[in-house]
Amino acid sequence: MDSRKILLLRVYLVALGFVIFAFCIAFQLIKVSFIEGAEWRTKSDRLYLKTVEAEGDRGDILSANGLPLATSVQLFDIRMDLNTQAMTDELFFAHVDSLGWYLSQNIDRSKSPVQYRNFLIQRRKAGERYLLLKRNATFEEMNMVRNFPILRWGQNRGGLILERKSRRIKPFRSLAARTIGLDRENAANVGIEGAFDEYLKGETGIRMVQRISGSNWKPVDDISSLAPLRGADVITTLNTDIQDVVHHVLKDALVRHEAQFGVAVVMKTETGEIVAMSNLDRQVGGYIENYNHAVGSLIEPGSLFKIPSLMALLEDGLVDLDQKINLNKGTTTICNRTVRDSEAHDFEETTVRHSLEISSNVGISQLVNEQYKKAGREADFIMRMRNFGLDKQVEIEIAGEATPYIKDAGNRAEGWSCLSLPWMSFGYELSLTPLQMLTFYNAIANNGKMMKPFLVKELRREGQVLKTYKPEVINRAVAGEHTIQQVREVLEGVVENGTGRRIYDSALPMAGKTGTTQLNYTDHERVRTAYQSSFVGYFPADNPEYTCIILISEPTKGGFYGGTVAAPVFSEIAKKIMAIQPDRMPIAFEKSTLGTGNFSYPFWQVGYASDFRYIFSSLGVVAAEDEDIEFTVLMPDEEMGMRMRNRHISREVMPNVVGMGLRDALYVLESAGVNVKINGYGRVVGQSVSPGSSLSNKNIELILDI
């Protein structure tokens, strides 16, 4: 009995153990399923599902006339999950031949349909879930691929994986490229891209993705479910028509003179709006926008600084424009150093006015030396320069503006000597940027009111104005009214009678100052002397609308004086800008008449280049022409009368058809697969979808007017 009881006890204990173990398992199941279920399900999801940030599209940078200077083009990496659960063998093998044919014809013609078929079958057998079909596909290519066999069934059944990204492009390519700037991932943004990055970048959204293999994740939702907020658009003051003129005229001059680099900036006189800014450096293969010299490069202004020196003398009542001054035939001695004019004169005595018109170094240095240095008033001269604002930044929106350098009077630590004041009077031993010099001359053109130069007018998102930037006055009167009037007379005289007389044109009165600066005057072992040619002025002289500065550094061919190198560039830009103004008659160029009759040319017409060639051929007219033109902008040319410039028609973004006739506009847009609605008659004056925008919008309305 004892043995039997012991055996039964053992059985009961084992049974009890099983019961307790079963209860423990049941408890754990209940605990995992109900008590801790949510936590474990979340952990499980994290292994296969996660959320990722999706950046919003970057806003556009637009010109003052509404054209895109920088925009984001949507691109797609197209992949395929060959082992999605809903893709059965029956469906796959029934359509893989067709898919192979479509891929061969549209994606990679180097592979035959059979090769593509075998490749897809091989990758399916290998368990491929993230097969790349095409990288950086455009929106049109993406739409085409998503309609291929198998892929047209979508993400779950057809295995289609679309990964969207964007690429920043400049539809006008190199026009104002450094001013517009760069949007870079691994470095600081520059230009307008950098200054307004906070507004341009979109707000981040959230997207769910699923692990399919290793570190590969695919979107769980459709591409259209992305919900980040697009960045704001930046509306600039830049005018693409004027920018195009400035860019090409400057580039032609740099090529002609084989110069190192060039700067051209055009500003609206009344407001300070910068309508064009071009900076071109010589590189292998041509001239490109490489650095914004207008904003960031300090230069010794040379003879451009004679006008601030004259203004100081006039403001302090130390000279009169009609008083006599002895130029000693163009040479004098100051502090045992010889000062020479650029050319010897056959006269000794002239007026202060005339000495400025012919840009005499001897004249201005003697006046400043006698009236300030010998009188012990050196500090007064420097104070005048500071009162004119020449020692201050203009605080343009974009980063990188250099700080002007003007010595303190008598400061030996800065290298002040007995030569400093007379040398400063004609633009040496001090430095400013071209934009700072332009701002000063713009104040003269604006009757003494100095305006802050600015590049951005407005920030806008989805049609709503977020912020508006208005003209800002830096100094309401840099000098007295009488002084400003006298200086303007001198600047007009420079063009009519002085160093700028080569550009005198009675049809368009211009005013300004030439500058010729020797760059390497401190290098006593120099092989050759390097020069910098400049001209700054405004037009029309009697009622200024625009102020412009031209700087050409180290011209090596065709002269080096400001009057022969930089001034003609200013003149050509001025004439072409005035010719394209919509509210005035085109300026007649002397060389624009052809044959025996006078022709009235259509300015700034846009159309199919071969049509214009046919018309010109029929009329016996010869027009200058850029290379490789399909569509052209017809514009005035001083030499030939007309020039056909290339109008780039993008194949990646919404084309620019403004200015075209209806036939040409329809051809361009319908070739891009866009549906066109027409409103009005005549030529295209507006389009509802901005040029450079994504072609995702297949509908556009054209506004036509006569």
Q: How confident is the model over 13-28, as pLDDT tens digits?
A: 778 878 887 888 877 7
3-state SS, residue 32: helix
Among the residue ranges 357-361, 440-444, 522-526, the one predicted with the least confidence is 522-526
d(CA 302, CA 499): 14
Segment 369-383 shows an average pLDDT of 90
User: What backbone torsions phi and psi does residue 490 show, to the nearest 5 degrees?
Assistant: -65, -45
CB contact at 8 A, 61 and 236 = yes
CB contact at 8 A, 206 and 54 = yes
Q: What is the pLDDT of residue 273?
A: 96
What confidence tens digit (pLDDT) does each residue in 402-434 have?
999 999 988 888 889 999 999 999 999 999 999
What confidence tens digit (pLDDT) does each residue in 106-165 have?
989 899 999 999 999 999 998 888 888 988 888 788 888 989 999 988 888 888 888 877
Segment 480-484 shows an average pLDDT of 95
What confidence tens digit (pLDDT) does each residue in 583-601 have?
543 333 333 333 333 333 3
What is the DSSP secondary-structure string of 347-369? -SEEEHHHHHHTT-HHHHHHHHI
What confidence tens digit (pLDDT) does each residue in 622-663 have?
666 665 666 666 555 544 456 666 666 766 677 777 777 887
pLDDT range class, residue 383, cuts 50, 70, 90 = very high
Q: What is the pLDDT of residue 473?
A: 96
Q: What is the pLDDT of residue 446?
A: 96
What confidence tens digit (pLDDT) does each residue in 45-64 have?
445 556 655 566 788 888 88
3-state SS, residue 172: coil
What is the DSSP secondary-structure string of 540-551? SSSS--EEEEEE
Q: What is the DSSP letter of 58?
A: P
Average pLDDT, the chain: 83
What confidence tens digit (pLDDT) does each residue in 606-620 have?
776 777 777 767 666
Burial of 513 by CB count in 10 Å (0-12 exposed, 13-18 middle, 19+ buried)?
buried
Give the pTM: 0.72
> What percent of the chain lies above the pLDDT cut of 70?
81
pLDDT range class, residue 499, cuts 50, 70, 90 = very high
Smallest Cα–Cα separation from 172: which of 261, 263, 71, 266?
71
CB contact at 8 A, 227 and 183 = no
List, in sequence order, the alpha helices (H) in 358-480: 361-368, 378-387, 420-425, 434-445
